[in-house]
């Protein structure tokens, strides 16, 4: 095959490849476009117009209604602070555990790692009744700490698993130099190890943020007061016994989806960098 023919065929192959990627991307974006149009309609337009038809006129008041009348602002704030606290403690505790397992020598470290990995095999929702009974005994039912503790407990195993490969690849010469300079274990972790693991920290932070933000079952089970509900549960406020405000539900869903989409859009490269670095270095 001549060189010019090979280059021509390669260009065609790349063109077809990118066309396929654009098609897949379009299929992924299509539900978001539908949700946006859905959120700008009233009940009559939802059922009597085509799925992807533009509402006429767009009913932006649906967003005002859910934010002001539906307490979505309160639910948004609850989702924000519960997610933030859960992510901070999950990543920090997982970093402590991973540092102790990979950088220290002690007898039961493999047993402890195995116990955390067992957590990956436990179906989350099979623990609803035991957790409900436990939180009932310690008086944490209808308290946001029940959600924070649950998020931390179930996200620790996957976070530790992601961190392991990266921590195993860190050169021990850095720690030896730090010890020779009189650095304590705590100072070594916070000033040497933790800054070096920032790529994988960003990855685990985003993954945990997505999991915690979208949590529904635990919030719906443990929280009954509107004061502590999150966005995923607050949507039910617009589902009545006789009527359902579908436009308001669409607006609430759009508000709940946007923060994660924006964060993922700007930091998606960091996720791949962190996972790839851990996989290659480990």
Q: DSSP for the chain, please give it.
A: --HHHHHHHHHHHHHHHHHHHHHHHHHHHHHHHHHHHHHT--HHHHHHS-TTPPPSS--THHHHHHHHTS-HHHHHHHHHHHHHHHHHHHHHHHHHHHHHHHHS--TTHHHHHHHHHHGGGS-GGGGHHHHHHHHHHTT-TTSHHHHHHHHHHHHHHHHHHHHHHHHHHS-HHHHHHHHHTT--HHHHIIIIIHHHTHHHHHHHHHHHHHHHHT--HHHHHH--SGGG--HHHHGGGGB-SS-B-HHHHHHHHHHHHHHHHHHHHHHHHHHHHHHHHHHHH-
Q: What is the average pLDDT value for the chain, to the nearest integer?
A: 85
% of the chain at pLDDT higher than 90: 27
Whether residue 16 lies inside any domain: the answer is yes
The whole-number pLDDT of residue 218 equals 92
* Out of 76-85, 125-134, 173-182, 191-200, least confident range: 173-182
**Is the whole model's pTM more than 0.85, yes or no?**
no
The CATH number of the domain holding residue 261 is 1.10.3720.10
The answer on 137 and 28 residing in a single domain is no
The whole-number pLDDT of residue 92 equals 94
Q: Looking at the predicted structure, is the pLDDT value of residue 279 above 70?
A: no
- Stretch 177-205: mean pLDDT, rounded? 84
Band the pLDDT of 282: cuts 50, 70, 90. Answer: very low
Segment of 135-149, 176-190, 217-231, 261-275 carrying the highest mean pLDDT: 135-149
The answer on 38 and 145 residing in a single domain is no
How many domains does the structure of the chain reveal?
2
Q: Which domain holds residue 29?
A: 3-48
The whole-number pLDDT of residue 281 equals 47
């Amino acid at each position: 095959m001549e060189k010019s023919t090979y280059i021509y065929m390669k260009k065609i192959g790349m063109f077809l490849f990118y066309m396929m990627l654009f098609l897949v991307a379009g299929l992924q974006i299509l539900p978001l476009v539908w949700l946006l149009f859905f959120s700008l309609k009233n009940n009559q337009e939802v059922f009597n117009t085509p799925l992807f038809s533009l509402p006429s006129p767009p009913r932006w008041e649906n967003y005002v209604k859910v934010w002001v009348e539906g307490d979505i602002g309160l639910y948004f704030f609850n989702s924000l602070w519960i997610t933030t606290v859960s992510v901070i403690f999950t990543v920090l505790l997982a970093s402590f555990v991973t540092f102790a397992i990979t950088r220290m020598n002690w007898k039961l470290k493999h047993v402890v790692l195995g116990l955390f990995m067992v957590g990956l095999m436990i179906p989350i929702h099979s623990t609803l009744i035991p957790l409900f009974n436990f939180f009932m005994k310690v008086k944490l039912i209808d308290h946001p700490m029940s959600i924070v503790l649950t998020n931390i407990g179930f996200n620790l195993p996957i976070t530790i698993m992601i961190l392991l490969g990266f921590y195993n690849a860190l050169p021990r010469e850095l720690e030896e130099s730090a010890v020779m300079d009189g650095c304590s274990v705590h100072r070594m972790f916070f000033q040497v190890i933790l800054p070096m693991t920032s790529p994988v920290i960003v990855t685990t932070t985003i993954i945990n943020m997505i999991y915690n933000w979208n949590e529904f079952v635990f919030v719906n089970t443990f929280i009954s007061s509107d004061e502590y509900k999150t966005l995923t549960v607050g949507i039910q406020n617009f589902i009545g016994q006789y009527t359902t405000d579908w436009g308001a539900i669409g607006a609430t869903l759009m508000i709940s989806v946007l923060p994660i989409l924006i964060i993922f859009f700007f930091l998606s490269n960091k996720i791949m960098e962190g996972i790839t670095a851990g996989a290659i270095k480990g």
